[in-house]
């Protein structure tokens, strides 16, 4: 995350005077000040605006407060297409860490100009490691002041915390609104109990993978029962959890929740918080060494890359458009930069349940001008038995939605390879009907359910 410091709201500490040796001095105890914003800023608090947010969306308001005194925080959420920024978002943090381990919740009061979801609110974003973030995404505010409670997943972890409060509010149905927040502080409430924890949203999942692959555990939640009888779920950073593997030679988990797959075999990943077992598990089935596609060696000056670690890729809207309304079933293409597998630093797309899938380069990014290119390269590995009649058809669309033209090239079953990389250099002249290549916006892989599971790597245009 890139930060933009809103200097008008910073408390800048400047020290002057004689230097003093610290030899022999005891380390000072950290402050346990629970206050973030209580009728004003607590000491040492600073504010940073998130990238893309409106710089002055946050202001101090002395007219609207929860208790009629002091001041509150006012957040003006912009309309869609506001040139100043697309949302209101930022974090309040301290330069000196605080010991918050004696508290079990962050609480605040909030109201809005209308009934709206509160987007994302939480704590632990210190613009550094963000190690112990915790956030809630299901709060709603209306025109009445209401108290909100964010339970701390494990208070014992917050012995040196700088991230006091962060928020991110976006337009609703294209329109902006205003939110007021007041009395933000950490508390030790006696009405929070019955802790439950989840990994993978409490599901038992299985993944078939390879040695050297790194994947991240998602769906990490802490659920506490509040005094009104409701349960509050908190999206919780991996560092709150203690992870365990039934077979560390096959899979291990670091404190960021990254699963590193090792030797061939099976391992079950589980977790706990404060000695309470979390619901959910991940069974890792390692198939052993992953054989990567050959690394491209063509001169980058002659390449326009869509997906490859060997080149700088062009900007891409998505690697899976999820055209569900058109009957798409295909999964995959949703990891970092489209990579579903990262093997020893090399990303690979894994399309499963394949019937058709599109890679988009036309919505919010420039379309691809492949006029000077002569070929399309792609590496495909079919992860299942190949039957007569199986095929994968590649389709290129030019000028999407604006007098578009397209061309296709079909890879038949006698060409496809099972569990082996097939590298194809396809002349663009073989895409019949694609007479204009100046604005290529969609690259489709189509199998019509004949082939359902493939690895894809090194998708790029090149010229000889």
pLDDT digits (tens, 9 = 90+) for 291-323: 999 999 999 999 999 999 999 999 999 999 999
Does 30 reside within a domain? no
Domain span holding position 208: 193-289
Do 223 and 202 belong to one domain? yes
Does 29 reside within a domain? no
Stretch 197-212: mean pLDDT: 94
Do 168 and 86 belong to one domain? yes
Q: Which residues of 126-161 are buried (b: 16+ CB within 10 A; e: fewer)?
A: bbeebbbbbbbeebebeeebeebbbbbbbbebbeeb
Do 345 and 201 belong to one domain? no
pLDDT at 2 over 60: no
Do 212 and 305 belong to one domain? no
Which among 137, 156, 99, 164 has a CA at the least distance from the CA of 221?
137
CATH, residue 140? 2.60.120.430
Does 62 reside within a domain? yes
- Give the pLDDT of residue 317: 96
Q: Are 116 and 141 in contact (CB under 8 A)?
A: yes
pLDDT at 22 over 60: no
- Give the pLDDT of residue 403: 87
Q: Are 52 and 87 in contact (CB under 8 A)?
A: yes
Domain count, the chain: 3
**Mean pLDDT taken over the chain:** 92
Residue 19: pLDDT band with limits 50, 70, 90? very low
Stretch 423-452: mean pLDDT: 97
pLDDT at 3 over 90: no
Helix (H) or strand (E) holding 243: strand 242-245
- Give the pLDDT of residue 25: 42
CA–CA gap between residue 218 and residue 205 (Å, rounded): 11
3-state helix, strand and coil shares in percent for the chain, rounded to the nearest 5: 5, 45, 50
Helix (H) or strand (E) holding 268: strand 265-273
Stretch 277-304: mean pLDDT: 96
Instruction: For residue range 54-74, list pLDDT tens digits in order.
Output: 999 999 999 999 999 999 999
Bigger pLDDT: 136 vs 18: 136
Do 313 and 455 belong to one domain? yes
Do 306 and 455 belong to one domain? yes
- Give the pLDDT of residue 8: 32
- Give the pLDDT of residue 459: 99
- Give the pLDDT of residue 396: 98
- Give the pLDDT of residue 28: 62
CA–CA gap between residue 441 and residue 446 (Å, rounded): 16
Do 177 and 206 belong to one domain? no
Does 94 reside within a domain? yes
Strands 265-273 and 276-277: antiparallel
pLDDT at 194 over 70: yes
Does 26 reside within a domain? no
**Domain termination residue (choose one: 169, 187, 205):** 187
Where do runs of H (alpha helix) occur along 212-346? none
CA–CA gap between residue 214 and residue 286 (Å, rounded): 12
Instruction: For residue range 89-105, list pLDDT tens digits in order.
Output: 999 999 999 999 999 99
Does 28 reside within a domain? no
Question: What share of the chain in percent tops pLDDT 90?
Answer: 88
pLDDT at 455 over 80: yes
Do 73 and 152 belong to one domain? yes
Do 75 and 211 belong to one domain? no
What the block records as the tokens of 101 is 């381990």
Do 41 and 179 belong to one domain? yes
Stretch 221-247: mean pLDDT: 97
CA–CA gap between residue 309 and residue 130 (Å, rounded): 28
Long-range contacts of 424-429 (CB under 8 A, 24+ apart): 424/376, 424/377, 424/378, 424/379, 424/380, 425/375, 425/376, 425/377, 425/462, 426/375, 426/376, 426/377, 426/378, 426/394, 427/374, 427/375, 428/370, 428/373, 428/374, 428/375, 428/376, 428/396, 428/461
**Domain termination residue (choose one: 129, 154, 187):** 187
Do 255 and 170 belong to one domain? no
Q: What is the pTM of this model?
A: 0.77
Does 9 reside within a domain? no
CATH, residue 208? 2.60.40.10
* CA 353-357-363 angle, 5° bins: 145
Stretch 414-422: mean pLDDT: 97
CA–CA gap between residue 40 and residue 27 (Å, rounded): 29
Estimate to the nearest angstrom the gap between the alpha carbon of 398 and the chain centroid. 30
Which among 57, 59, 36, 31 has a CA at the least distance from the CA of 46?
36
Do 167 and 279 belong to one domain? no
Instruction: For residue range 379-402, list pLDDT tens digits in order.
Output: 999 999 999 999 999 999 999 988
Which among 346, 348, 374 has a CA at the least distance from the CA of 430?
374
Does 22 reside within a domain? no
- Give the pLDDT of residue 401: 87
Stretch 129-151: mean pLDDT: 97
Helix (H) or strand (E) holding 252: strand 251-253
**Domain termination residue (choose one: 243, 268, 289):** 289
- Give the pLDDT of residue 15: 26
CA–CA gap between residue 82 and residue 404 (Å, rounded): 31
């Amino acid at each position: 995350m890139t930060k933009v410091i809103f200097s008008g709201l910073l408390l800048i500490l400047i020290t002057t005077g004689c230097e003093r040796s610290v030899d022999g001095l005891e380390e000072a105890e950290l402050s346990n000040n629970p206050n973030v914003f209580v009728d004003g800023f607590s000491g040492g608090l600073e504010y940073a605006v998130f990238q893309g947010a409106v710089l002055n969306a946050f202001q101090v308001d002395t007219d609207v407060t929860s208790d009629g005194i002091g001041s509150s925080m006012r957040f003006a959420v912009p309309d869609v297409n506001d040139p100043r920024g697309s949302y209101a978002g930022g974090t309040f943090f301290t330069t000196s860490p605080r010991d918050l381990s004696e508290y079990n919740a962050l609480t605040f009061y909030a109201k809005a100009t209308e009934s709206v979801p509160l987007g994302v609110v939480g704590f632990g974003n210190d613009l550094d490691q963000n190690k112990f973030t915790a956030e809630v995404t299901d709060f709603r505010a209306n025109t009445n002041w209401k108290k909100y409670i964010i339970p701390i997943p494990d208070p014992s972890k917050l012995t040196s915390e700088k991230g006091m409060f962060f928020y991110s509010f976006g337009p609703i149905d294209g329109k902006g609104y205003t939110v007021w927040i007041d009395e933000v502080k950490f508390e030790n409430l006696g009405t929070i109990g019955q802790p439950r924890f989840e990994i993978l949203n409490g599901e038992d999942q299985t993944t078939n993978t390879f040695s050297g692959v790194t994947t991240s555990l998602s769906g990490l939640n802490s659920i506490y029962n509040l005094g009104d009888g409701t349960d509050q779920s908190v999206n919780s950073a991996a560092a709150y959890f203690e992870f365990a593997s039934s077979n560390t030679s096959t899979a291990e988990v670091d404190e960021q929740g990254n699963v590193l797959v090792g030797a061939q075999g099976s391992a079950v990943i589980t977790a706990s918080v404060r000695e309470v077992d979390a619901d959910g598990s991940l069974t890792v089935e390692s198939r052993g060494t992953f054989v990567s596609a050959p690394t491209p060696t063509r001169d980058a000056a002659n390449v326009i890359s869509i997906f490859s670690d060997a080149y700088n890729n062009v900007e891409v809207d998505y690697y899976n458009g999820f055209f569900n309304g058109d009957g798409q079933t295909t999964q995959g293409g949703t990891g970092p930069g489209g990579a579903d597998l990262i093997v020893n630093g090399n990303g690979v797309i894994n399309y499963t349940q394949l019937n058709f899938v599109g890679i988009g380069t036309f919505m919010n990014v420039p379309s691809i001008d492949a006029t000077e290119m002569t070929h399309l390269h792609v590496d495909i590995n079919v992860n299942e038995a190949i039957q007569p009649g199986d095929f994968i058809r590649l389709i290129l669309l030019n000028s999407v939605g604006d007098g578009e033209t397209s061309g296709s090239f079909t890879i038949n079953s006698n060409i496809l390879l099972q569990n082996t990389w097939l590298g194809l250099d396809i002349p663009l002249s073989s895409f019949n009907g694609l007479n204009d290549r100046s604005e290529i916006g969609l690259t489709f892989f189509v199998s019509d359910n004949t082939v359902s599971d493939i690895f894809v790597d090194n998708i790029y245009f090149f010229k000889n």
